[in-house]
Amino acid sequence: MDKTNYDAAERRLAEERHLRLDLEAQLSNCSTIEQRQSANEHSEHLGHEPDAKHR
């Protein structure tokens, strides 16, 4: 493989690594948000709404 092809392959690998890390970060944020929503829904189901305490 000549130098030009090698450099291009290295750039592609770096881009793919960056995209994968970005996607992993987005997925971890999604699961955190889903966990929060799930916890909130569970809390509301039990009647522990923040507003309910002040009524």
Q: How confident is the model at residue 1 (pLDDT cuts 50, 70, 90)?
A: low
Torsion of CA 9, 14, 17, 22, to 10 degrees: -140
Instruction: Establish if 9 belongs to a structural domain.
Output: no
Q: What is the pLDDT of residue 51?
A: 52
Residue 55 has pLDDT above 50, yes or no: no
Instruction: Establish if 52 belongs to a structural domain.
Output: yes
The residues, ordered by sequence, that sit 6+ positions from 1 with a Cβ below 8 Å of its Cβ are 9
Number of domain units in the chain: 1
Residue that the structure tokens 């000549």 belong to: 2
Instruction: Establish if 12 belongs to a structural domain.
Output: no
For 3-48, the pLDDT digits (tens) are 899 999 999 999 999 999 999 888 888 778 777 788 778 777 777 6
Instruction: Establish if 15 belongs to a structural domain.
Output: no
Instruction: Establish if 43 belongs to a structural domain.
Output: yes
pTM of the entire predicted model: 0.49
Tokens describing residue 42: 């569970």
Instruction: Establish if 14 belongs to a structural domain.
Output: no
Asked whether the beta carbons of 49 and 43 are under 8 A apart, the reply is yes
Range of the domain at 31: 20-55
